């Protein structure tokens, strides 16, 4: 976490948390969800407009990556100065990219070692690592298939709906929050 963020947290310790305004999709892209996007439905709903606006500002994305963390309840957030901005997840808290030599790196750029490989009924591929569980980017599924053929990891079946409970993360921190009248 950035030192300036830690300093802001110490200076303003009681800033309310923010819910529903930031989303992470299945390809590791960040979305800003304004009131209009939130009114269209949940980030995970697939309803047109519910994802919000794709973030493209490189410095902002780098800031999010450096200050991305998880709380004790398994809800992922971006610490934006003194305010926690909770993240709506399309699937998992990590989206993995796989290199030609079968190394994994997250959307944040952090590298991780694969501990286990899973596939769900829709054919999506997931890896559990020391950092946690994440969805493999669709462009890297063929590379993972090569690794499976080489016996790098055993493949296990997995029900995607059971993943949050099994791996201890929250897909929608906003779902548990009351909206102000």
CB-count burial class (<10 Å; 0-12, 13-18, 19+) for 148 = middle
In a domain, 155, yes or no: yes
Q: Report, as an integer, the average pLDDT of 54-71.
A: 96
Asked, for residue 181, whether it belongs to a domain, the answer is no
CA separation for the pair 94, 72 (Å, rounded): 17
pLDDT digits (tens, 9 = 90+) for 94-130: 999 999 999 999 999 999 999 999 999 999 999 999 9
Query: Can you give the pTM of this predicted structure?
Result: 0.90
pLDDT, tens digit (0-9, with 9 covering 90-100), for 78-98: 998 888 999 999 999 999 999
Same domain, 29 and 84: yes
Asked, for residue 149, whether it belongs to a domain, the answer is yes
Q: pLDDT of 27-45, one tens digit each?
A: 999 999 999 999 999 999 9
Residue 43 and residue 30 in contact, taking contact as beta carbons nearer than 8 Å: no
104 and 156 assigned to the same domain: yes
Q: Indicate if the pLDDT at residue 181 is higher than 50.
A: no
* CA separation for the pair 130, 23 (Å, rounded): 23
Structural domain count of the chain = 2
Q: Does residue 1 have a pLDDT over 90? A: no
* Judgement on whether residues 8 and 87 belong to the same structural domain of the protein: yes
What distance, in Å, lies between the first and last C-alpha atoms of the chain? 34
For residues 100 and 122, state if they share a domain. yes
For the domain that residue 65 is a member of, what is the CATH number?
A: 3.10.540
How does 61-99 read in b/e, with b if 16+ C-beta sit within 10 Å?
bebbeebbeeeeebbbbbbbbbbbbbbbbbbbbbbbbbe
Same domain, 118 and 154: yes
Outline where 126-173 has alpha helix (H): 141-149, 163-167
Based on the fold, state whether residues 116 and 80 are members of the same structural domain: no
CATH number for the domain that contains residue 142: 3.30.720
Q: Are 21 and 45 part of one and the same domain?
A: yes
Using the structure block, give the residue that is written with the tokens 């992470």: 24
Residue 16's domain spans which residues?
3-91+169-176
Does residue 130 belong to any structural domain of this protein? yes
- The least confident of 116-120, 128-132, 138-142, 174-178 is 174-178
Distance (Å, whole) CA 60 – CA 65? 9
């Amino acid at each position: 976490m950035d030192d300036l963020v830690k300093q802001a947290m110490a200076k303003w310790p009681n800033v309310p948390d923010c819910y529903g305004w930031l989303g992470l999709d299945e390809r590791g892209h960040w979305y800003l969800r304004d009131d209009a996007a939130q009114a269209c439905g949940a980030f995970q709903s697939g309803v047109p407009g519910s994802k919000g606006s794709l973030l493209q500002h490189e410095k902002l994305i780098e800031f999010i990556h450096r200050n991305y963390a998880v709380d004790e309840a398994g809800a992922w957030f971006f610490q934006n100065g003194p305010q926690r901005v909770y993240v709506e997840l399309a699937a998992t808290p990590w989206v993995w990219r796989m290199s030609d030599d079968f190394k994994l790196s997250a959307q944040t750029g952090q590298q991780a070692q694969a501990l286990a490989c899973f596939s769900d009924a829709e054919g999506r591929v997931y890896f559990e690592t020391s950092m946690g569980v994440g969805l493999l980017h669709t462009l890297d599924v063929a590379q993972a298939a090569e690794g499976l053929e080489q016996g790098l990891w055993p493949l296990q079946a997995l029900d995607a709906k059971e993943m949050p409970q099994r791996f201890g993360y929250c897909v929608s921190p906003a779902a548990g929050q009351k909206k102000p009248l």
